[in-house]
Structure 1
Amino acid sequence: MPFHRTSSGLLLAAALAGCATQPAHDPLQSAFVIVADDGAAIARAITSAPACPQIEIDGRAAAMNVRAPLAPIPLRPLSGEAAGRPQAPSSAVQSCEAPLPAGVRSVAVAGRKLPLPVAEPQRIVVIGDTGCRLKGKEFQDCNDPQAFPFARVAASAAAWKPDLVIHVGDYHYREDACPADRPGCAGSPFGYGWDAWQADFFAPAQALLAAAPWVVARGNHETCVRGGQGWWRFLDPRPFGPQNSCDDPAQDLHGDYTDPYAVPLGGGAQLLVFDSANTSYKGFGAGDVRLEKYADTYRKLEALAARAPHNIAVDHHPLYGFGANQDKNTGAITLFGGDAGLIQAFGAIQPRLLPAKVDVLLSGHVHLWEQVSFASDHPTQFVSGFAGTAEDIVPLPATVAPGTTPAPGAVVEAMSSWIDGFGFMTMERRGADRWDVVVHDRDGKERNTCTVEGRRSRCALPQVPRAAK
C-alpha cells in the first residue's frame, strides 16, 4: 500500500488537533493495546479515577481488572551517581487491563475506541528513544516542538496507518529538574512518577497509541533504578506484582530481567522480543549475575526461534550496529560496535550472537537511524532511535574500512545512516522474509528506502543528507 502524502497530511493535521482536544477533567489519562506473548492482545487504561473504566468488547460491557491500584508511584532510594539529587512526588493513577479475545471486532474503553490486532500485519512502524532528555548536564528544550518533536513524529506515523507499532525502548528521559535558567524546559515534570511519564511518553504518543496495537521493548531508561516502576505499571505485558514492581531495591533481581517472547506475524514470520535493559556497554566481570541472566535469555530465544522459519528480533541495544565518538581537539571520529555485555553473554553460546533463524534485529539506544548488512552469516541490523530524544550528531561513514566490525566475525557488506534528523521507520511486507523499509522525517516525508530479503538488506542512500538548520 503506497504512502499517500496528501491523505496522510490531512490525517496528520487531524491527529495533531486531536492531541489538544481531550477534556482536561477526563480521568482517563490513556488507553491503548499491547501485544504480548504469542500475540495475545491486552487492553490497558491509565486513570486517575477511583475505579477502573468500563471496557466494551464486541458490544458487551465488562469491568477492567486493576493492574496497579490507585496511588502515587512511591519514591525509592536513589543510588550511584543519582544519590542525593532531588526527587519529585507522583500524582496518583491506577493502571487497568483486560485481555482481548482472538478475532475481536470492536473494543472501546469509556467510549474511546481502541485499535484492533491484525493477524498478519502488513504495515509496521518502528520507533525508539522517544523521551525528552533532562539529566545531569544535558537538558533538551521539552517545551519546543522543534527541539522535542515526538508528538509530531507520532502523529505522522499514525497518519501512515500502521497495523502494528514497535517501540525499541527508552520512553522515559525526564529524570532531573529543569534548571532555573533554562526556559526551554521550564515547568517540566521530572523524576520517575506518573507526571513525567505522561509528559514524556503518553501525551505526545496519543495519536500513535490510538492508531495500532503496540509491541514494546524495554530500554536501559526503564531499569528499576530509573523508570522501571512506571514501566511495570504501564507497559510491560507480563503480570504485575510486588516482586517485579521495582518499588523495593531488594527485589531488583526480579524486576530487572524478563523472559523473551514471540509475537506471530503470520506467513512464516514472527517477532522475538527480548529484554536487554540492564546490560552494560563495558561488559561484565567474572561472576556478574548478568552473564547467566542473559545466557538464559539466549537459550529461551533459541527455543522460540524454532517456531518459525523467519524471525525478526526486537530489543533496545544493538548487537551489530555502529556508534561514533569524535575527538574534541582533532575532530577524529572513532567507531564503536555493539553492546559488549550482550556480545559477551550471547557470544559464549553462539558466535553469531543470535539464533540461526533470526534474519533481522531491530534496536534503538543510539540516537540516529542506521542500517548494517553483512556478507557473513549475521542478521541485518536496523537502529531506529531517532523519534524524540536529543540526537547523536557525530556522523557515521558511508562505508567502513575492511576489517572494521561491530561484532566478532561480522563482515560489513552495506550500511546506511541518518544523523541529526528526527523521524520514524516503517516496514511493509512483500513476502515471508521480504520487507520494504522507509525512513521518514518528522512530517512523514520519505528520506531513504531499503529492501530486506532474508538476512540481507540494501538502502538507496548510504547517507541521508542532513537537513538545513
Structure 2
Amino acid sequence: MQNMITGKVCTLSILPFLILWQSIAVSEPITTSAWLQYTADGLEVRALIPTQIGTLKPNNNIDKIDPTDTNETVSSKLNALLNTPNDVLDSQSQDPCPHISIDGLTLSMQVRTKATPNFPKRVCSVHIPPKANIITLNDIVFTTVKPKPKRIVLLGDTGCRLSGGQRHYQACNNTSLWPFKHIASRIADYQPDLIIHTGDYIYREVACPKGNAGCAGSPFGHNQATWDADWFTPASRMLQTAPFVFLRGNHEGCDKAGIGWFRFLSPRATPDTCEPNTPPWFITLDTLQLGIIDSAIVTNNQKKSLSTTFAQQLKTLTPQYNRPAWLLSHRPIWGFGASDTGTTLTKQTQALQAAVKKSPLPDFINLIVSGHIHLAEILDFDGKRPVQVLAGNGGNMLVSRTPPATEIDAMAIKQSKVLYQYGFVVMESDEKDNWRISFRDVEGRELEACLLSENQLFCE
C-alpha cells in the first residue's frame, strides 16, 4: 500500500536524520520483538521485522562448526555468514521499518541490519531522547525512561545449554530445569527502572541427541531460530519492561554467537567482520555512572593474556568518572566458583586482575557487576577494592558447589554470600543513594540481602 501522507513535513532538531510527520497513515510492518537499550551513542529502540527473502538456501556452514575446528576455520565460517553478499539479503525497500511514536512525535525507524537466509528478520532501530516519556511502537508501549533509576535488576547466563564438547544437554523444554522464561516474567512483574544483562544469551550450540525428551525439537547453531528460542521468546515480557544494558559474554565471542550479538544487541553499529574485542563504553545517569568493558575474550590466538588491552580500556574510562560508578564486565575481576565442567575452585579473572594492577580503578567505582560463573555471589574484601557482585544464575546449568575462597589475588575476603540456585539480583536505592542488594529466587522471593553505602558493605 502506498503511504498516504498529509500535513507539513519538518525536521526534528534532536534527531536530524529522521523525518517527522504530523500525520501518517501506513500499513505497518509486523514487529515480533522490540526493546529499549542503552548504547555507546545514547538510547535506542530496536525491533525485529520478519521478511520474505525468496527461495535462497540458508548458509548451513554456520551449523557445521565442529569442536575440532581450528580457530582459523571457525573464524572463516563465521565471517562467511557475516559477509553474506547483497544478492542474498532482503530486497524489500518500501517501508522496511515501522514508525514509532515518541512523546507524540511519529518517527521512521531505520534498518540496522538486513535479513539473511540464516537470520530472516531485519533489525530496525531509532535513537530516542534521553528523557523520553511515552514511547509506543504499534501496540507495544514502553516504560518511561528514568534517568535516576531506583530499581535495577541484574541477571545473566540465561541460555539453555546444548553442548556437544561438554556432553551437557539441558532440558530446554522444562521450565523447572531451564527456568529463564519464568525468571524473566518475575522480573517483568517487579517493574524495574533498568535491567543489566551480564552476558551469555545463547548456549544451544549442537542438536539435541535423539531420544532426549528434555530438549527434543530445539533449534541450534547461529541462526534466528536459536536466538528466538534462547532469548527473544522467553524474554518477551521482560523486554518491554525497562531499558536494558547488554554486556557481551564469552558465548557471544566470534567462535560462538558473535554474529547474532552484533546483529541484535551490540552497543555500536554492526561491523563488517566479527570483532573479538570491542572498545569500552560509558553511560552517565543522574546519580550513577556505568563503565562497560567487553571481556568476552581474555586471550589472543596465541593464548597470551590481553591484560595490557584491558588496562588501556580501563585507563580510557577513568577520566569520564565524576560521580559514584559501577564497572560492568561479563567476566568478574574477582570471583570464585567451579568451572562449568569441574568441581575445583577457580578464582577469576587473572587477565582482568593484572589489568587493574596496571591501571588502578578510580575511587568513584564502588561496585563491579559481572556474571560468567553460574551462581549468584557478592564479595567484600579486606582492603581497598570495590565490592564484586555476580549474577550468573539466570537459567543456564549451575556450577558445582566448592569450598568458599578465603582470598582472591592476594587480598582476603572479609565477607561473602554465595547462592547455588536460579534467580536474579535486585538493586534498590534510597534517598541517600545507598543500594540495597537482594538475591531473589525463581519466584522473585528474597533470599539474602546486603546494603552498599558508598564503599562499605553491610550484610544481613
Q: TM-score interval w.r.t. the shorter chain?
A: 0.7 to 0.9
- Provide the residue aligned with 2:459 in structure 1: 459
The residue matched to 2:256 in structure 1 has which SS?
coil
Whether the aligned pair in 2 keeps the contact of 1:123 and 1:428 (CA below 8 Å) is yes
- Provide the residue aligned with 2:296 in structure 1: 277
- 2:334 aligned with 1:320, yes or no? yes
Whether the aligned pair in 2 keeps the contact of 1:122 and 1:428 (CA below 8 Å) is yes
Whether the aligned pair in 2 keeps the contact of 1:31 and 1:114 (CA below 8 Å) is no
Amino acid in structure 2 at the alignment position of 1:429: S
Equivalent residue pairs, number: 387
Q: Quick one: structure 1 residues 70 and 110, their matched pair in 2 at CA, closer, same or farther if it must change by over 3 Å?
A: farther
Structure 1: tracts of 5 or more residues without a match: 1-25, 73-89, 247-254, 461-469
Amino acid in structure 1 at the alignment position of 2:46: R
- Provide the residue aligned with 1:236 in structure 2: 266
| Aligned-pair CA distance for 1:56 | 1.6
| Aligned-pair CA distance for 1:224 | 1.4
- Provide the residue aligned with 2:418 in structure 1: 417
Paired residue for 2:43, among 38, 41, 44? 41
- 2:118 aligned with 1:102, yes or no? no
Q: Please identify, of 203-212 and 296-305, the stretch whose mean Cα deviation from structure 2 is larger.
A: 296-305
Inter-partner Cα distance in structure 2 for 1:47 and 1:327: 38
Whether the aligned pair in 2 keeps the contact of 1:41 and 1:117 (CA below 8 Å) is no
The residue matched to 1:425 in structure 2 has which SS?
strand
| Aligned-pair CA distance for 1:241 | 3.2
Identity among equivalent pairs (%):
33
| Aligned-pair CA distance for 1:283 | 11
5 Å-filtered alignment, 1:394-405, equals 394-397=401-404, 400=405, 404-405=406-407
Inter-partner Cα distance in structure 2 for 1:282 and 1:355: 31
- 2:384 aligned with 1:377, yes or no? yes
- 2:96 aligned with 1:61, yes or no? no
The residue matched to 1:52 in structure 2 has which SS?
coil
Paired residue for 1:209, among 236, 239, 249? 239
Instruction: Please list the CA deviations of residues 160-198 of structure 1 after superposition, one character each: whole Å capped at 9, or x if unmatched.
Output: 110000001111111111111211001101001111011
5 Å-filtered alignment, 1:111-260, equals 111-136=139-164, 137-243=167-273, 246=274, 255-260=275-280
Q: Quick one: structure 1 residues 291 and 393, their matched pair in 2 at CA, closer, same or farther if it must change by over 3 Å?
A: closer
Q: Quick one: structure 1 residues 426 and 282, their matched pair in 2 at CA, closer, same or farther if it must change by over 3 Å?
A: farther
Instruction: Please list the CA deviations of residues 33-92 of structure 1 after superposition, one character each: whole Å capped at 9, or x if unmatched.
Output: 001237x210000111352122122222221110001223xxxxxxxxxxxxxxxxx241
- 2:318 aligned with 1:302, yes or no? yes
Q: Quick one: structure 1 residues 325 and 314, their matched pair in 2 at CA, closer, same or farther if it must change by over 3 Å?
A: closer
Whether the aligned pair in 1 keeps the contact of 2:344 and 2:402 (CA below 8 Å) is no
Inter-partner Cα distance in structure 2 for 1:325 and 1:161: 33
Whether the aligned pair in 2 keeps the contact of 1:29 and 1:47 (CA below 8 Å) is yes
Whether the aligned pair in 1 keeps the contact of 2:290 and 2:328 (CA below 8 Å) is yes
- Provide the residue aligned with 1:446 in structure 2: 446
Inter-partner Cα distance in structure 2 for 1:339 and 1:422: 23
Paired residue for 2:286, among 261, 266, 279? 266
| Aligned-pair CA distance for 1:284 | 5.4
Amino acid in structure 2 at the alignment position of 1:216: F
The residue matched to 2:114 in structure 1 has which SS?
strand
Paired residue for 1:392, among 362, 379, 399? 399
Instruction: Please list the CA deviations of residues 370-400 of structure 1 after superposition, one character each: whole Å capped at 9, or x if unmatched.
Output: 0100120001001000011011131443xx5
Output the aligned Cα RMSD.
2.3
| Aligned-pair CA distance for 1:336 | 2.1
| Aligned-pair CA distance for 1:102 | 2.9
- Provide the residue aligned with 2:427 in structure 1: 427
TM-score by length of 2: 0.79
Amino acid in structure 1 at the alignment position of 2:44: I
Whether the aligned pair in 2 keeps the contact of 1:263 and 1:272 (CA below 8 Å) is yes
Paired residue for 1:345, among 350, 355, 374? 355
Q: Quick one: structure 1 residues 204 and 296, their matched pair in 2 at CA, closer, same or farther if it must change by over 3 Å?
A: same
The residue matched to 2:115 in structure 1 has which SS?
strand
- Provide the residue aligned with 2:33 in structure 1: 30
Amino acid in structure 1 at the alignment position of 2:333: L
Amino acid in structure 1 at the alignment position of 2:289: Q
Inter-partner Cα distance in structure 1 for 2:147 and 2:224: 33
TM-score by length of 1: 0.78
Inter-partner Cα distance in structure 2 for 1:131 and 1:27: 26
Inter-partner Cα distance in structure 2 for 1:91 and 1:100: 26
Q: Return structure 1 stretches of 4+ with deviation > 4 angstroms.
A: 280-284, 325-328
Amino acid in structure 2 at the alignment position of 1:322: F
Inter-partner Cα distance in structure 2 for 1:395 and 1:451: 26
Whether the aligned pair in 1 keeps the contact of 2:345 and 2:402 (CA below 8 Å) is no
- Provide the residue aligned with 1:367 in structure 2: 374
Whether the aligned pair in 1 keeps the contact of 2:339 and 2:399 (CA below 8 Å) is no
Structure 2: tracts of 5 or more residues without a match: 1-28, 52-91
| Aligned-pair CA distance for 1:116 | 2.9
Give 1 or 2 for the bigger CA radius of gyration: 2
Inter-partner Cα distance in structure 1 for 2:238 and 2:459: 26
Instruction: Please list the CA deviations of residues 318-370 of structure 1 after superposition, one character each: whole Å capped at 9, or x if unmatched.
Output: 11111136999xxxx753212122223332333xxx33321100100000000
Instruction: Please list the CA deviations of residues 127-165 of structure 1 after superposition, one character each: whole Å capped at 9, or x if unmatched.
Output: 000000011211100000111110100110111110000
The residue matched to 1:242 in structure 2 has which SS?
coil
